[in-house]
Amino acid sequence: MGDLVLIDRPAPGVAVVTLNRPAKYNALSAALLQELTAALERLAGEPELRALVLTGAGPAFCAGLDLRELEAGVKIAGPESIRPLQNFPVPVIGAINGVAVTGGLELALACDFRVASERARFADTHARVGIVPAWGMTARLSQAVGQAWARQMSFTGDFVDAALALRIGLVNEVVPHDRLLPRAVELAQSIATTVPETLRRIREIYDIIRDGTGADGIRAELETAGQGLALADPAGLAERRRALMDRGRAQTR
């Protein structure tokens, strides 16, 4: 394994996985996704693991897919790329340390729940980039914050700060930045002290409820991607990427 994904063991039964591409705001390159998949698959095979924390290095949690690689024609990800996280066998806590944008927001939504730094900001910019989501955004976001807020976030691409994310239910807690990882590990340690088989069954029931109510939305995303509509106007992607970056810097919300 390379150094794009780091694994730490802060406590018995707990692992912390860190996306480690801080200079690129942990944008999901093909190499980073490969390392993340390998790390999750390896950890999933550890019977002593009870809880996982997912976070990012530097100022961002994850800025989404690496649009420069997309511009260059690199196939970074498909609908299956999110499954090792979505199907991880023990609870996953998202420790959102900074911006979580589009694919990065989908990673956060694939966690069982999220704790945010006061510096965290969230946005769904699929409609601005011209990419139809295929990792469950429409289902998971509306489950987390309700249809109205999900539509506002997806239709505008505007950023939501940590305080608003807490108010609308996107995150469970907001903590001072230097308390984020300690708090996430505290929660993971609490999970690690429960009865594993009982917790596994309770989580399965929650998953059945979640997947049942979100199945139609996820199916629609996959059908749209399968029709070749996942990326609109590839030639204009570079211009949209630059406009998106400028807009994100200008927003202070």
More confident residue, 70 or 11: 11
| Confidence check: pLDDT of 58 > 80 | yes
Number of domains in the chain: 1
Assigned domain for 210 exists:
no
- pLDDT on residue 252: 46
Which CATH number characterizes residue 115's domain? 3.90.226.10
pLDDT, residue 237, reads 62
CA distance 74 to 7: 27
- For residue 213, being part of any structural domain is answered with no
How much is the average pLDDT of 147-169? 97
User: Given this model, what pLDDT does residue 209 score?
Assistant: 82
In a domain, residue 108? The reply is yes
**Mean pLDDT taken over the chain:** 89
pLDDT at residue 249, rounded to an integer: 64
Most confident segment among 34-38, 127-131, 247-251: 34-38
Contact predicate 75/134, CB 8 Å: no
In a domain, 95, yes or no: yes
Q: Is the pLDDT of residue 62 over 80?
A: yes
248 within some domain: no
Question: Mean pLDDT across the stretch 224-237?
Answer: 55
Model confidence at 175: pLDDT above 80: yes
- Residue 253 in any domain: the answer is no
Q: Rounded to an integer, what distance in angstroms lies between the CA atom of residue 54 and that of residue 107?
A: 9
* Domain assignment present for 236: no
Q: What is the mean pLDDT of residues 107-122?
A: 98
Q: What is the pLDDT of residues 118-147, one digit of tens each?
A: 999 999 999 998 888 888 899 999 999 999
Tokens linked to 99 = 């911006």
| Dist. CA 79–CA 131, nearest whole Å | 13
With a pLDDT cut of 90, the percent of the chain lying above it is 69
The DSSP letter of residue 4 is S
Reading phi first (left if > 0) and then psi (alpha if -120 to 50, else beta), residue 28 is in beta
Among the residue ranges 35-44, 121-130, 211-220, the one predicted with the least confidence is 211-220
Report if residue 203 sits inside a domain.
Answer: no
Going by pLDDT thresholds of 50, 70 and 90, the confidence category of residue 75 is: confident
For the cut 60, the answer to whether the pLDDT of residue 201 exceeds it is yes
| Ordered alpha helix ranges (H), the chain | 30-44, 67-71, 83-86, 103-110, 126-129, 137-145, 147-156, 162-168, 180-192, 196-226, 237-250
**Token pair of 28 as six digits:** 């999901």
Domain residues for 57? 5-179+188-196
The Cβ of residue 176 has, within 10 Å, a number of other Cβ atoms equal to 10
pLDDT for 81 equals 87
